[in-house]
Amino acid sequence: MSPPPFAGAAGAPPRARVLPRFLTRLLAVVAVVLGTALAGPLPAARASVTLTQVSDFGSNPGALTMYVYRPASLPAHPPVVVALHGCTQNAQVYADNSGLPQLADRDGFLLVLAQTGSANNASQCFNWFQTTDNRRGQGEALSIRQMVSQAVTAYGADPQRVYVTGLSAGGAMTAVMLATYPDVFSAGAVVAGLPYDCTRDNSPYTCMNPGVDLSPDAWAQRVRDAYPSYTGPWPRTAVWYGDQDTTVVPRNATELRDQWTALHGLSQTPSRTATIGPDATRQDQYLAADGTVAVEVDRVPGIGHGTPVDPGTGTQQCGSTGAPYFAASICSSYWIARFFGLDTTDSGGGGTGGGGSGAACWTASNYAQVQAGRATTSGGYTYAKGSQQNMGLYNTFVTHTLKESPTGYYTIADSGCP
């Protein structure tokens, strides 16, 4: 199968990049290996999702296009999920088939879809392997970060709840965003992607197949090198792979696990293992000291390269197989939203109130306690109103019981209330 011609070769592309012939050929080879040289054009996807293009979101050094899906009913200060499509795809195809918009409707988050084009890459792949695009403060990485800033400003989104996910080249770019902007993204989900900065000393082809084996500490150091002055918490990371993927081989799931568990200071032995979904996907979870899932690896049996979807109307179903690289299996977007803490159908996300002996008691996640006005947040942490007791990280995973006595004064009462 011959590679597609490099778009823009006859003249300077819009980004004013002048590429050497060997790099032009390399980009074409990478596109082919990522499964992008199709025998014919993509079938027309069902244009069921209405996206809004945002034309002015910053200097946009990566020459990307920004689209937004805003649910009809969006809460104040909503979370943001950034989605990055795979090669030969675009924002519309990813929106129509991934299931993310229907989850945005149900769970109340703003969906931002970044799109690249043939002027950047022969087969519309994000340039996860180029230092001009995978470093903080430049190229495509900076363009995506600017999209987040625009979403926070224009839609009043919550800057403490920003997440990113993507497929293949978009999955590799997800790892780029988590590494280069750990101060922006709380968590991410890499679908059939690669560890950050594998191409520092390897070709993209080698990184994809057969993959590169480094020690956990060596992988972690590559992330630290992306933002050396950063001292804050590392993003939580989920990894999704089809166990029959021959394009970006499953070995990369193991290397991604090594990279991110090492960053969190965790063992590479899972804290717990379960099977989920209709196809018995193996889910390995690695827990932080506070009990939150810092790293998760989901290995989907029987599928190759693509985003796992499960068309249907059930609670755990989503997506469509109407375009290439969407594999009928498990609804990965549902489980990713749940990993991010956005799933409103999860009974663990609510709160309960009760009283007795003149005191009211409320058990809920730190996020829910803040939203209910019983706690405040500062610097990423949660504090009980009145007593100012530190409740831990501001997220949906840490849960406390608060006792209100007198009215408006809250104390932690995890051991019993009243």
Secondary structure class of 301 (helix, strand, coil): coil
User: What is the secondary structure of 162-208 as a DSSP string?
Assistant: EEEEEETHHHHHHHHHHHH-TTT-SEEEEES---TTGGGSS-HHHHH
Secondary structure class of 295 (helix, strand, coil): strand
Q: Are 318 and 310 in contact (CB under 8 A)?
A: yes
The sheet with strand 80-84 has its strands ordered as 52-54, 65-69, 110-115, 80-84, 162-167, 187-191, 236-242, 293-300, 281-287, 272-276
From 123, 168, 332, 405, the catalytic residue: 168
CA distances for 22 relative to 19, 62, 69, 104, 206, angstroms: 8, 21, 39, 42, 17
168 is catalytic: yes
Full 3-state SS string of 89-126: CCHHHHHHHHCHHHHHHHHCCEEEEEECCCCCCCCCCC
Q: Are 292 and 285 in contact (CB under 8 A)?
A: no
Secondary structure class of 262 (helix, strand, coil): helix
How many residues in the chain?
A: 418
What does the DSSP 8-state code read for residue 347? Answer: G
CA distances for 376 relative to 70, 235, 418, angstroms: 27, 22, 22
β-pairing verdict for 162-167 and 80-84: parallel
At how many degrees (to 10) do helices 91-98 and 100-107 cross?
A: 70
Q: Are 212 and 198 in contact (CB under 8 A)?
A: yes
Cα gap 83→296, rounded to integer Å? 19
The backbone region for 22, taken as left when phi is positive above 0, alpha when psi lies in -120 to 50, beta otherwise, is alpha
Q: Are 410 and 384 in contact (CB under 8 A)?
A: yes
Which sequence positions are flagged as catalytic?
168
